[in-house]
Amino acid sequence: MILSIAGRALVLGLSTGLFCLGFCVPLLGPVMLTREKTGLKESAASIGLFLAGRLIAYLVFGLVFGALGSALTPIWSVKAIFLPALYAILGILMILYGVVQSFPHIGFCRMFTPRFQSKWYLLVIGFLAGINICPPFLLAVTTAMDLGGPFQGMLFFLVFFLATSIYLLPLLFSGLVNRFKEIRFAARIAAVVAGLYFIFLAARTFLFTA
């Protein structure tokens, strides 16, 4: 039973991991590339915090959907409001991050700099990324509901998380390139662009699901 659940989660995670990569890299990549003097150890710690946030979200969803199963099906109607709000929050956070990192000496930016540099920022971004209702996530939720049990749901989401996280490992080597000012500047621009993209997603999702 356990091996069967793990196998299904592994296949789903590996087969949809590139989709997750396209969602998470615009969030995590600019943050890691804007930070100065980050070696392999610091890069691993940053990825670890981001993944810890995702893991918390995945385990919570696995527990809830595994325990309550199909009884939760009606709540998906709220995604018309929840998903655009999630995208908008991510977009605003990324734009703020890019602006604050670009103008650290301005009073407004100086006030936010410690918060964006703290470990909690990556944890929060990872958690918000983890509760994104994307197609792979919906497949995982559906499977967890079918399994019918909190332990089974958490196990499925744990293995699904591990499989999709493999695709983020190349970011470990971001410390090799972010020592260059040009790379850090481009990453700050990328953070703002990513923020605008997520705000666009928020508006589009709201319009098409309302």
pLDDT digits (tens), the chain, 210 positions: 677 778 878 887 777 667 777 777 778 878 777 766 566 777 788 888 888 988 898 888 778 777 766 555 545 555 566 667 778 888 888 888 778 777 666 666 566 666 666 667 888 888 888 877 666 676 777 777 666 677 877 888 888 888 888 888 877 777 666 666 777 778 788 888 888 888 887 888 777 765
| pTM beyond cutoff 0.85 | no
Helices then strands, each counted (H, E), the chain? 8, 0
Closest CA to 97 of 174, 176, 10, 35: 35
Contact assessment for residue 153 and residue 140, using Cβ atoms and an 8 Å cutoff: no
Quote the DSSP letter at residue 39: -
Report the pLDDT value the prediction gives residue 47, as an integer from 0 to 100: 85
Distance CA 44, CA 173 (A): 9
Closest CA to 12 of 123, 131, 134: 134
Contact assessment for residue 5 and residue 159, using Cβ atoms and an 8 Å cutoff: yes
Contact assessment for residue 31 and residue 177, using Cβ atoms and an 8 Å cutoff: no
Distance CA 46, CA 38 (A): 10
